[in-house]
Chains A and B, each alone.
Chain A
Amino acid sequence: MRQGKYPFVIGFLFLPVTIYAVFVIAPYAQAFQLAMTNWRGIGAPEWIGFENFQRLFNDTAFWKAVQHHGILLLALPLITIAIALFFAFLLNVGGGSKGGQRVGVRGSAFYRVVFFFPQVLAVAIIAVLFQMVYRPDESGLINGVLTKIGLDPVFFLINPNLALWSIIGVLVWQAVGFYVVLFSAGMASIPTEIYEAAEIDGATKVTLFFRVTLPLLWDTLQVAWVYLGIAAFDAFAIVAVLSVDSGGPDGATTVLAMEIYRNAFVYGRAGYASAMGVALFFLTITFAALALRVSKRESIEY
């Protein structure tokens, strides 16, 4: 290597690293520090050690939120990936072989655009949209139809047993399009010869999917799982706009970000909210590490 390499590299790194340290690392560190205080937004914070964390331990709202993240963490990736894989398979491979090229079902170019559409909309718009879809009275999109044909309205967001699932439905609806595109890209890079060989050997579409597509997509799936898992730790905007009584009914849809918001900006408990933020930080990190470790596999070369 030539001389003067290090000053050159350092020169380029200095600014971004400084910006990162000041705007990302320092605030994080300070959130950790604040989590040990009973700061209420004004005045001097008072050091109280781990009291906030002890309080967290006995906070039912916190545990409810954690539990909801657990459900989201399982349901959101599973449902989204399953649907997205199914659609991507149909769009790319489902139509069989045409002139040596694998093609999707008829009109797949059109579907591709339609599926991606929800991804383009802002989360806030989606939430407001689904407010109309889920409305409990006859002016709601679904309940309007139900009441017209003489059925009882379904209380999507009011029924405590249904509310969280209604919200998961929205999250899935929004996410699927992106993963269809992601998986499509992955599938496009699978060589056609493999499919042809399998078909000659008499493989059905189901076998093709499970024996060829899925294993060769593993890396992409892993990425999708981590992304969706991290999305499952957020869900704030949808819950904030859509749920009744901010995370209700009776905390049935609350998430950690909602509780952080509530504590920081409604109750004025900045210190306690920071403690929740710290908890969320560790939950997310743990998840990401676990997801990458557990799903580790030999990637298949082709």
Chain B
Amino acid sequence: MSATSDNTSDRVDPSTMTGPDLPAALGSSRRTVLRRAAAAGLLTIPAAGLLGACATGGDDEGSTEQETGEKSATNPLGVKEDAALEVIIFNGGYGEKYATDVHEKLYKTAFPKAEIKHQATQAVSTVLQPRFTAGDPPEFVNNSGEKFLDFGALVNDNQLQDLTELWDAPSVDDPNKKVRDTVIPGVVEQGMFNAKDGSRKPFVLYYVSTVYGIWYSGKLFKDNGWTVPTTWEQFTALCDQIKAKGITPFGYAGANAAYYMWNVILTQAAKVGGPDVLKAIDNLEPNAWKAEPVIQSAKAWAEIGAKYGDKSFEGLKHTDVQLRQNQYKLAFYPSGDWLENEQKKDTPAGFEYQLMPVPSLTAADKLPAGAIRAAGGEGYFVSAKSKNPRGGMEYMRQMLSKAGARGFTETVGAATVVPAGSEGYSFPPGVASSQAALKAAGANVFNMMFDNWYKELDTEARTATNELMFGRATAEQWADRIQKRADAIKGDSSVAKFSR
């Protein structure tokens, strides 16, 4: 689910509810979640019961007649020109302006007769679940936030439109180039799921480019004459120096953002043993978590936690720990490149966020020091059972045009998976550094999916990682425990399985 692969992921967690000192968009969703959660605990279970009864009764009704039009050079997907299109946008970190001001306008320009119905929400599943159950889903959905719809369940119920046709269609800007060739490699594959009949199809468009790494203040490092470490020896030596200055060298927030840390551990493992280590984990292979590179990396980082961390961070939320970094009390903080935008209000002038790839652990690492985890974030889908799925796909084609991507980048300050869209755009220092790191990594870019596919495994990994990093578990116990949960999920017939 896009909800965890990107910056919205910490917005998913019910524990992210916190004080009023948050950016407005995040803050409001975090605060309202509590009230909703309290009500949901009492009300939604019974309400779900009602839906269930409906679903059992009426899931066989014939699918609605779908609109199609004449295919042409300007309309390669065969959209019916005057067919209405309903767009649902998750109103979170990126807001909704990019949709109303950029993408919807582009669609409207291409198809002036089409009527676009726009709706923004902070609770996607609350709004849409009844509509899917009733057989009246909207065409285009930005499925994200703390209440996203379960992609696995959607795929299993054949609710998602197969996007193969979109990826193979000619792009808006260059008719000789397919849409799939305009995006960062791996994005199409990332959105692929195993359909009910066993075939793998692209169902989801991940649109925002997200780069993960360890963040530091360019100013702090310059002022102290510290150089960015690429090897483990350099890294620990620098941590010693930082500690001597009275600054906490490394930290993450245990209260709600423990996944920032398992991300570092697994990124490290991928560097030591190659990206197949992560593929095995994603595919729920036996003993994938107990593989030597994973244990080795967990051991190394547990030591960092014990020697260079701060025990009180376990009880703090991500914004609290991030604030420490902005106050120059913390040197290294692992996160994705949404961090700079998220902290905009609290970052002092001249702080200058910079991304550093996770340093090499051994001289025998399979991937170079510059290798990096990057992925598409923020998931979008088209409903297969909506009235105008072709319109939904066309909307995506417009999003993936140069103008669509550029407009998004200019509106929200984040790069998309369409590189042409951010060419020549001057990003703030943090995103500029992450884009540079992505470029420098070349082909050594990898990703992991297990947290999107199996939320329970993510939760277990978070809990176990806190135990590991704050000294209550060894690397072996950590791996054992997560492996056990992975095995349980593998043996659970009610969970849809995915592989890559």
Contact = CB atoms under 8 A, between A and B. Distances in A.
B12 interface: yes
B254 interface: yes
A123 interface: yes
A218 B497 CA distance: 57
Interface residues of A, number: 60
B45 A277 contact: yes
B500 interface: no
Contact of B312 (A31, A39, A137, A261): A137
A270 B48 contact: yes
Contacts of B285: none
Given A41-B149, A268-B150, A262 B132 contact: no
A73 interface: no
Interface residues of B, number: 59
Interface string A22-46: 0000111111011001111111110
Interface of A: 26-31, 33-34, 37-45, 48, 123-124, 127-128, 131, 134-137, 153, 155-158, 160, 236-237, 240-241, 243-246, 248-251, 257, 260-262, 264-271, 273-274, 277
Interface of B: 12-15, 17-19, 31, 34-35, 37-38, 40-41, 44-50, 52-53, 55-56, 59, 125, 129, 132-133, 147, 149-150, 152-154, 156-157, 159, 254-256, 258, 310-312, 314-316, 455-456, 459, 462-463, 466-467, 470, 472, 494
B37 A236 contact: yes
Given A42-B156, A44-B157, 14 more contacts: A27-B47, A27-B50, A30-B50, A34-B48, A40-B494, A41-B48, A43-B157, A44-B59, A127-B34, A236-B38, A249-B463, A249-B472, A270-B45, A271-B494
B37 A42 contact: no
A136 B129 CA distance: 40
Which of B44, B52, B153, B466 counts the most chain A CB atoms within 10 A?
A: B52
Contacts, number: 191
A187 to B, nearest CB: 33
A131 B14 contact: no
Nearest to B146: A265
Nearest to B58: A44
B17 A240 contact: yes
A264 B311 contact: no
Nearest to A247: B15
A271 B493 CA distance: 14
Which of A42, A127, A251 counts the most chain B CB atoms within 10 A?
A: A42
Contacts of A38: 494
B455 A41 contact: no
Which of B49, B125, B157 counts the most chain A CB atoms within 10 A?
A: B49
A269 B488 CA distance: 15
